[in-house]
Amino acid sequence: MRKIVLSAVLLLSLCVFALPQDRIIALPDSPRRIQIGAEKSILAFQDGQSQLEIVLPEGANRILQFAAAELQEYFRRSCQVEVPVVNAPDDSKVSIILGDNQWSRQAGLDCTTLPRDGYYLKSVGRRIYIAGVDDPKGNPAEAFSWSVFFERGTLNGVYEFLERFLGIRFYFPGEIGTVVPKHQQLSLPQMDIYDRPDFPRRRYGVSPIDHQAWFPEQEYHHRLQGNMILKLRTESFYVPCCHSMERLKIVERFADQHPDLLAMDEQGKRHTQPGSVYYGNLCYTSPSLREELFRDAVSHLSGEPAQNRGLRGWDPSAIQPGFFNIMPMDHFRTCHCPRCQDFYQKHPESELVWDLVADISGRLHKAGVPGYVTAMGYGHYPNPPQTVSLPENVLIMISVRGPWAENIPAARAEGDQRIQAWTDFTGRKPWLWNATYKYGGLELPDIPPTTPRIIGKYYVRQAGSISGAFMESESDHWIFSYLNYYSMAKCTWDNTQDPDALVDEHHRKMFGPAAVPMGKFFDRIEELWLTRISGRIVETRLGSEAVPPSDNELWEQIYSPAEFDQFEQWFDAAAKLCAGHPEETMRVDYFRRHFLGQIKRGAERYQRLCSSLQDLQFQVQALSDGEAFVLDGKPDEAAWQPARAHYLLPLESEKGEVAATLMFRYDQQYLYLGAVCVEPKMDQVVANMREHDNGNIWTDSVLEVFLNPSADRSNYFHWMINSLGFVYDAKGTRQDTRSQYDPGWNSGAKVQVARSEQSWSVEMAIPL
């Protein structure tokens, strides 16, 4: 009998534990209600006399206190009135009553039925209720990084009130980016608003502040970034789905005890050194890995502290209360152990990832462990599995290009088909990981990826197909991306938004009489990015591909001198139209200096680089009679003494950690290269024994040589040499920012490598 009672108690506890997760992922089951009276019958203030008060019950939590302070701040700035905060409503006043309390409940507002992040904004006579579910532990004043994730329904309602009835807009922090209309008097209509987000998942990602420039007129503080997240009403709970297999520190915890869970390289070696490209990669067929991963999941989903599993804490990117992520690391390497290779002989490589997800989630489901497993269709495993099914406790996120593929028919269709395939496979609407950031060939300094219209249109178009999105959107300058964030946040909250109207309103609110020329500027920036940069289609040997432009094309043909002339004309027209409007004049001047000005600074750097490249040349001295080399990998023969030493510079920093010295000589048969690569940590140098022309040699520590004898900056020859002396050589053709390689070409170069305790060196003879 005792066993039956315990089972019943356990079942009850599991059901109670699961309810918060279900509310977090639930799609809205009732439409929003926006009812606004035709007459403005509630006189809030007139002739400097305010009828307003803000009501907070005794013991109000920090979210309500913050919401009250925001109301006070913006009434002060917009209406020039001080609105008191009181603990009970006065029937003679216009009372704005905040939160779920006795008065809101008497007015018939039941916050227990609200979807997450939803709120009520309702008037009854001279009382205005703004109420939602608020986390008593949340602290908006300290909201940044992971501390922005707390439910704040009332605060969402307050920002809606300020936007809808005072006309305030929050575009970016500070005076320039916050539009606060001035009111000489304020009357409010009767209102009955029930609102909630259409997508439960709504988040954008930005670079750490040390990787991008903040707004020039103010000093960065983490609270500013967090405060914008609050004002844009993005998601209040993060459902984790991000490379858990490295965030769980599996190698650090279990490699000594279970070396079989480490991925094996082509030479049969399992790597435990952090310097190896294989470090952190795992063997997904390993029984040890699967058992430890299952135990981690059970421990977390059962509410145990991370210390029980040998961790200081659960990594929030991959683990959140009620959710456990299973996803390979980003630098995935295939395991070459016999067990994995046997699996690959019978299945596509992607199936092994889904086999792992199905195994762990299936065991959790069978054991009755509460909560959800999250997984992402990404990388080499983007599509639903062919050989396994996933239990109902699995939630799927998928990586698709998203907004910047809207004008590329093949890429757009591929993304839509993947969304539909996963929906059909799981019976749930997935949420997305979209790449609208400057990465790879799109990492173009000082070029704005400002595309708010297409971003809004994409998320509106996906209404009914997805449960939301994370828009990864790093940039080198915040000012380039703020309008992308705004459009994404607004259109993922309300899928009925008109994105064009949203952007047009931005231009009117920010620039007033200069809205038209400034709108032309923003639209041209978006057009250039979508059609000439991210969506630039060229014909390659592999067919039509989106290929970003070269620096030459970027600054000579796209952001050309003629284009800059047009930009200046629009700004001149905007400045003229803003005469007599100080706030709008200030904004036009600001964008001219810090938006257009930043692009121009990029163009100036390009011109300086072109000038320096013209000077980048040196003479190679021919061998004299009697001079010769013995190629042993050590460039220390007398014949090297006359050669001038040249030094490699770091690609992405101003100061190099180690030195690399190059020397050149030639005769009628060969161009000779001698190189010394200083390396104080030779025991950590990555070098594998490889066949000639093995394309993976780039993952080793290598010396790369590029020769362009024709000086056309298009046709070239390429060598990679690792510290064991293995060589890759190829003939290449550069097309814009991409290359086509022919590794079948053989240069006939003679290469020798030598290693010492503090360096490795190369001697190379390239046939002329």
CATH code where residue 658 lies: 2.60.40.1190
Rounded to the nearest integer, the mean pLDDT of the chain is: 92
Residue 437 lies in a domain: no
Q: Determine, yes or no, domain membership for 86.
A: yes
| For residue 47, pLDDT beyond 90 | no
- Strand runs labelled E in 486-559: 537-540, 543-546
Q: Phi and psi (nearest 5°) for 432?
A: -110, 150
Helix (DSSP H) and strand (DSSP E) numbers for the chain: 19, 31
pLDDT digits (tens, 9 = 90+) for 275-334: 677 788 999 999 999 999 999 999 999 999 999 999 999 999 999 999 999 999 988 889
Of 265, 254, 246, residue with least CA distance to 334: 265
Residue with tokens 């795992």: 282
What is the pLDDT at residue 526?
99
In a domain, 58, yes or no: yes
Residue 431 phi/psi, 5-degree rounding, is -110, 160
Give the per-residue pLDDT at 616. 64
**What pLDDT shows up at residue 583?**
97
pLDDT of amino acid 588: 99
Q: Considering only residues 477 and 545, tell me which one the structure prediction assigns the higher pLDDT.
A: 477
Question: Cα torsion at 555, 559, 564, 565 (round to 10°)?
Answer: 100
pLDDT of 9 above 80: no
State mean pLDDT over 458-474.
97
CA distance 116 to 498: 24
pLDDT over 50 at 14, yes or no: no
Q: Is the pLDDT of residue 653 over 80?
A: no
pLDDT for res 48: 83
CATH, residue 132? 3.30.379.10
Q: How far apart are CA 664 and CA 643, in angstroms?
A: 6
Residue 687 pLDDT > 90, yes or no?
no
CA distance 399 to 414: 11
Looking at residue 223, what is its pLDDT?
83
Q: Are residues 293 and 324 in contact, defined by beta-carbon separation less than 8 angstroms?
A: no
pLDDT tens profile 219-246:
887 788 899 999 999 999 999 999 999 9
Q: Of the candidates 141, 168, 196, which is a domain's last residue?
A: 196
The winner for highest mean pLDDT among 139-148, 271-280, 583-592 is 583-592
Q: Tell me the per-residue pLDDT of 57-94, one tens digit each, with 9 for 90 and over.
A: 999 999 999 999 999 999 999 999 999 999 999 999 99
Range of the domain at 680: 621-767
DSSP 528: I
- Residue 637 in any domain: the answer is yes
- Residue 493 clears pLDDT 50, i.e. is over it: yes
d(C-alpha 722, C-alpha 674), whole Å: 14
Q: What are phi and psi of 289, to 5 degrees?
A: -60, -50
| Range scoring the smallest mean pLDDT among 27-41, 56-70, 112-126, 597-611 | 597-611
**How crowded is residue 154: how many other Cβ atoms within 10 Å of its Cβ?**
28
Structure tokens at 114: 């609200």
Give the domain-ending residue among 163, 196, 229: 196
More confident position, 115 or 48: 115
Q: Rounded to an integer, what distance in angstroms lies between the CA atom of residue 531 and that of residue 385?
A: 34
Q: Residue 4: its pLDDT value, please? A: 34
Task: Please give the pLDDT value at position 217.
Answer: 82
Residue-wise pLDDT for 78-135, tens only, equals 999 999 999 999 999 999 999 999 999 999 999 999 999 999 999 999 999 999 999 9
Cα dist from 348 to 341, 385, 681, whole Å: 11, 9, 39
Annotate 31-45 with b (16+ C-beta within 10 A) or e (fewer). Answer: eeeeeeeeeeebebb
Local structure of 462: helix, strand or coil: coil
Percent of the chain with pLDDT over 90: 76
Averaged pLDDT, 365-376: 97
pLDDT-based confidence at residue 149 (cuts at 50, 70, 90): very high
Annotate 297-336 with b (16+ C-beta within 10 A) or e (fewer).
bbbbbeeeebeebebeebbeebbbebbbbbbbbeebbbbb
Number of independent structural domains in the chain: 2
The answer to whether residue 116 is domain-embedded is yes
Nearest to 200 by CA among 427, 415, 403, 23: 23
Which pLDDT score, from 0 to 100, does residue 737 have?
Answer: 64
Q: Which amino acid is at 513?
A: P
Name every residue whose Cβ is closer than 8 Å to that of residue 560 and which is 6 or more positions away in sequence: none
Give residue-wise pLDDT tens across range 515-553. Answer: 999 999 999 999 999 999 998 755 554 455 567 888 899
| Angle value at C-alpha 540, between 534 and 541, nearest 5 degrees | 150
Which among 196, 220, 249 is the end of a domain?
Answer: 196
Give whole-number Cα distances, 24 to 13, 118, 150, 399, in Å.
18, 12, 11, 21
109: in domain: yes
The reported pLDDT for the residue numbered 654 is 59
**Contact between 746 and 730 (Cβ < 8 Å):** no
The mean per-residue pLDDT over the stretch 474-499 comes to 97
Whether residue 700 lies inside any domain: the answer is yes
Dist. CA 404–CA 459, nearest whole Å: 12
pLDDT tens-digit series, residues 694-710: 888 888 889 999 998 88
Terminus-to-terminus CA distance in the chain, angstroms?
Answer: 90
Residue 416 lies in a domain: no
